[in-house]
Amino acid sequence: MLSLTKYQGIIFDMDGTLIDSMGAHLQAWELTCQAFGYPFDYDYMYGLGGVPTLATVDILNEKFGLSHNADEIAQQKHQFWLGLNQQPEIITETVDILNYYHGKMPIGVGTGADREHAIDHLTHTGLIDKIDALVTASDVRHGKPHPETFLTVAKQIGIQPNHCVVFEDTQIGYQAAAAAGMDCILVKNGKIQLKT
Protein backbone atom coordinates (compact mmCIF):
# COMPACT_ATOMS: atom_id res chain seq x y z
CA MET A 1 0.00 0.00 0.00
CA LEU A 2 1.23 3.48 -0.90
CA SER A 3 2.36 5.21 2.29
CA LEU A 4 0.73 8.60 2.81
CA THR A 5 1.63 8.89 6.49
CA LYS A 6 3.53 12.15 5.95
CA TYR A 7 0.18 13.77 5.13
CA GLN A 8 -2.80 14.58 7.36
CA GLY A 9 -5.53 14.61 4.71
CA ILE A 10 -6.23 13.10 1.29
CA ILE A 11 -8.17 14.74 -1.55
CA PHE A 12 -9.32 12.83 -4.61
CA ASP A 13 -10.57 14.12 -7.92
CA MET A 14 -13.56 12.02 -9.03
CA ASP A 15 -13.93 11.40 -12.79
CA GLY A 16 -10.91 9.52 -14.10
CA THR A 17 -9.35 9.28 -10.64
CA LEU A 18 -11.79 7.41 -8.36
CA ILE A 19 -14.46 6.60 -10.93
CA ASP A 20 -13.91 5.41 -14.49
CA SER A 21 -16.32 7.76 -16.22
CA MET A 22 -14.04 9.82 -18.44
CA GLY A 23 -14.79 7.66 -21.48
CA ALA A 24 -18.51 8.37 -21.29
CA HIS A 25 -17.90 12.08 -20.74
CA LEU A 26 -15.62 12.22 -23.77
CA GLN A 27 -18.22 10.40 -25.88
CA ALA A 28 -20.81 12.95 -24.77
CA TRP A 29 -18.44 15.80 -25.58
CA GLU A 30 -17.76 14.32 -29.03
CA LEU A 31 -21.50 14.25 -29.76
CA THR A 32 -21.85 17.79 -28.40
CA CYS A 33 -18.96 19.10 -30.48
CA GLN A 34 -20.47 17.54 -33.61
CA ALA A 35 -23.87 19.07 -32.83
CA PHE A 36 -22.49 22.58 -32.31
CA GLY A 37 -19.72 22.69 -34.91
CA TYR A 38 -16.66 22.45 -32.66
CA PRO A 39 -13.77 20.35 -33.99
CA PHE A 40 -13.31 17.40 -31.60
CA ASP A 41 -9.84 16.43 -30.43
CA TYR A 42 -9.83 13.53 -27.94
CA ASP A 43 -6.51 14.40 -26.28
CA TYR A 44 -7.37 18.09 -26.02
CA MET A 45 -10.77 17.36 -24.46
CA TYR A 46 -9.27 14.80 -22.07
CA GLY A 47 -6.86 17.52 -21.00
CA LEU A 48 -9.86 19.65 -20.01
CA GLY A 49 -11.05 16.92 -17.62
CA GLY A 50 -11.91 18.53 -14.28
CA VAL A 51 -12.89 21.84 -15.86
CA PRO A 52 -16.59 22.54 -15.21
CA THR A 53 -18.81 22.15 -18.28
CA LEU A 54 -19.73 25.84 -18.51
CA ALA A 55 -16.07 26.85 -18.37
CA THR A 56 -15.24 24.21 -21.00
CA VAL A 57 -17.79 25.82 -23.34
CA ASP A 58 -16.16 29.22 -22.78
CA ILE A 59 -12.76 27.70 -23.65
CA LEU A 60 -14.15 26.06 -26.81
CA ASN A 61 -15.92 29.26 -27.90
CA GLU A 62 -12.70 31.22 -27.52
CA LYS A 63 -10.52 28.56 -29.19
CA PHE A 64 -12.77 28.21 -32.24
CA GLY A 65 -14.13 31.75 -32.50
CA LEU A 66 -17.71 30.74 -31.72
CA SER A 67 -20.28 32.24 -29.36
CA HIS A 68 -22.62 29.41 -28.40
CA ASN A 69 -24.73 29.73 -25.25
CA ALA A 70 -22.90 27.88 -22.47
CA ASP A 71 -26.07 26.86 -20.60
CA GLU A 72 -27.63 25.43 -23.77
CA ILE A 73 -24.53 23.41 -24.60
CA ALA A 74 -24.15 22.17 -21.02
CA GLN A 75 -27.74 20.92 -21.06
CA GLN A 76 -27.25 19.19 -24.41
CA LYS A 77 -23.99 17.58 -23.27
CA HIS A 78 -25.79 16.30 -20.16
CA GLN A 79 -28.57 14.84 -22.31
CA PHE A 80 -26.03 13.09 -24.55
CA TRP A 81 -24.30 11.74 -21.44
CA LEU A 82 -27.59 10.45 -19.99
CA GLY A 83 -28.38 8.84 -23.35
CA LEU A 84 -25.19 6.77 -23.16
CA ASN A 85 -26.63 5.19 -19.98
CA GLN A 86 -23.22 4.13 -18.73
CA GLN A 87 -22.91 2.95 -15.14
CA PRO A 88 -19.77 4.26 -13.46
CA GLU A 89 -17.18 1.77 -12.22
CA ILE A 90 -14.53 2.34 -9.59
CA ILE A 91 -10.83 2.67 -10.35
CA THR A 92 -9.38 -0.05 -8.14
CA GLU A 93 -5.93 1.39 -7.37
CA THR A 94 -7.21 4.69 -5.99
CA VAL A 95 -10.30 3.25 -4.29
CA ASP A 96 -8.01 0.75 -2.51
CA ILE A 97 -6.10 3.74 -1.09
CA LEU A 98 -9.36 5.47 -0.10
CA ASN A 99 -10.55 2.31 1.66
CA TYR A 100 -7.21 1.78 3.41
CA TYR A 101 -7.04 5.33 4.82
CA HIS A 102 -10.79 5.63 5.52
CA GLY A 103 -11.11 6.32 9.24
CA LYS A 104 -7.34 6.90 9.60
CA MET A 105 -7.28 10.45 8.20
CA PRO A 106 -9.82 12.86 6.69
CA ILE A 107 -10.66 12.25 3.04
CA GLY A 108 -12.37 14.63 0.64
CA VAL A 109 -13.35 14.76 -3.02
CA GLY A 110 -12.82 17.86 -5.17
CA THR A 111 -14.41 17.54 -8.60
CA GLY A 112 -15.27 19.64 -11.63
CA ALA A 113 -18.58 17.76 -11.90
CA ASP A 114 -21.79 19.40 -10.72
CA ARG A 115 -23.11 18.36 -7.29
CA GLU A 116 -26.02 16.24 -8.54
CA HIS A 117 -23.77 14.26 -10.88
CA ALA A 118 -21.08 13.80 -8.22
CA ILE A 119 -23.52 12.58 -5.57
CA ASP A 120 -25.09 10.19 -8.09
CA HIS A 121 -21.72 8.67 -9.05
CA LEU A 122 -20.37 8.48 -5.50
CA THR A 123 -23.61 6.91 -4.26
CA HIS A 124 -23.77 4.38 -7.11
CA THR A 125 -20.19 3.26 -6.42
CA GLY A 126 -20.66 3.14 -2.63
CA LEU A 127 -18.02 5.80 -1.97
CA ILE A 128 -20.25 8.59 -0.65
CA ASP A 129 -20.19 7.30 2.95
CA LYS A 130 -16.39 7.00 2.95
CA ILE A 131 -15.62 10.67 2.38
CA ASP A 132 -15.70 13.55 4.83
CA ALA A 133 -16.19 16.38 2.33
CA LEU A 134 -17.39 16.87 -1.23
CA VAL A 135 -16.69 20.04 -3.22
CA THR A 136 -18.13 20.25 -6.74
CA ALA A 137 -18.36 22.79 -9.55
CA SER A 138 -21.67 23.84 -7.97
CA ASP A 139 -19.85 24.90 -4.78
CA VAL A 140 -17.06 27.15 -6.09
CA ARG A 141 -16.75 30.29 -8.18
CA HIS A 142 -13.53 29.23 -9.90
CA GLY A 143 -13.01 25.75 -11.33
CA LYS A 144 -9.68 24.02 -11.85
CA PRO A 145 -6.90 24.95 -12.60
CA HIS A 146 -7.80 27.57 -9.98
CA PRO A 147 -7.03 26.15 -6.50
CA GLU A 148 -10.42 27.05 -4.97
CA THR A 149 -11.84 23.51 -5.23
CA PHE A 150 -8.98 21.88 -3.35
CA LEU A 151 -8.60 24.72 -0.83
CA THR A 152 -12.31 24.42 -0.03
CA VAL A 153 -11.97 20.66 0.53
CA ALA A 154 -8.99 21.23 2.84
CA LYS A 155 -10.99 23.77 4.84
CA GLN A 156 -13.96 21.39 5.12
CA ILE A 157 -11.82 18.49 6.36
CA GLY A 158 -9.96 20.83 8.73
CA ILE A 159 -6.46 20.23 7.36
CA GLN A 160 -3.95 22.89 6.28
CA PRO A 161 -3.37 22.73 2.50
CA ASN A 162 0.35 21.94 2.81
CA HIS A 163 -0.56 18.81 4.84
CA CYS A 164 -2.88 17.46 2.10
CA VAL A 165 -2.09 15.23 -0.88
CA VAL A 166 -4.21 15.24 -4.04
CA PHE A 167 -4.88 12.41 -6.49
CA GLU A 168 -5.64 13.70 -10.00
CA ASP A 169 -5.75 12.40 -13.56
CA THR A 170 -5.29 15.64 -15.54
CA GLN A 171 -2.64 18.33 -15.84
CA ILE A 172 -5.31 20.95 -15.08
CA GLY A 173 -6.03 19.17 -11.80
CA TYR A 174 -2.31 18.91 -11.11
CA GLN A 175 -1.99 22.66 -11.64
CA ALA A 176 -4.88 23.28 -9.25
CA ALA A 177 -3.23 21.15 -6.56
CA ALA A 178 0.12 22.89 -7.03
CA ALA A 179 -1.56 26.31 -6.86
CA ALA A 180 -3.19 25.20 -3.60
CA GLY A 181 0.23 24.32 -2.16
CA MET A 182 -0.50 20.59 -2.13
CA ASP A 183 1.50 17.61 -3.34
CA CYS A 184 -0.19 15.77 -6.20
CA ILE A 185 -0.04 12.15 -7.33
CA LEU A 186 -1.16 11.59 -10.91
CA VAL A 187 -3.38 8.73 -12.02
CA LYS A 188 -3.15 7.72 -15.68
CA ASN A 189 -5.44 5.13 -17.26
CA GLY A 190 -6.37 3.88 -13.80
CA LYS A 191 -2.76 3.47 -12.65
CA ILE A 192 -0.99 5.56 -10.03
CA GLN A 193 2.09 7.26 -11.50
CA LEU A 194 4.91 7.37 -8.98
CA LYS A 195 7.96 9.45 -9.86
CA THR A 196 11.14 7.43 -9.54
Domain end residue (candidates: 64, 84, 104): 84
Give per-residue pLDDT as tens, 95-134: 999 999 999 999 999 999 889 889 999 999 999 999 999 9
Q: Does 144 reside within a domain?
A: yes
With 60 as the cut, is the pLDDT of residue 196 above it? no
Residue 110 phi, psi (nearest 5): -125, 110
Residues 126 and 183 both lie in one domain:
yes
With 90 as the cut, is the pLDDT of residue 194 above it? no
Percent of the chain topping pLDDT 70: 99
CB under 8 Å to 60, separation ≥6 — which residues? 33, 38, 66, 68
Domain end residue (candidates: 84, 100, 117): 84
What's the CATH number where 73 sits?
1.10.150
Domain end residue (candidates: 39, 60, 84): 84
Residues 104 and 78 both lie in one domain:
no
CB under 8 Å to 162, separation ≥6 — which residues? 181, 182
Residues 144 and 61 both lie in one domain:
no
3 state SS of 12: strand
**Catalytic residue ranges:** 13
Percent of the chain topping pLDDT 90: 77
Q: How many CB atoms lie within 10 A of CB 2?
A: 14
Lowest mean pLDDT among 3-17, 46-60, 69-83: 46-60
What's the CATH number where 152 sits?
3.40.50.1000
- Total structural domains in the chain? 2
CB under 8 Å to 37, separation ≥6 — which residues? 64, 66
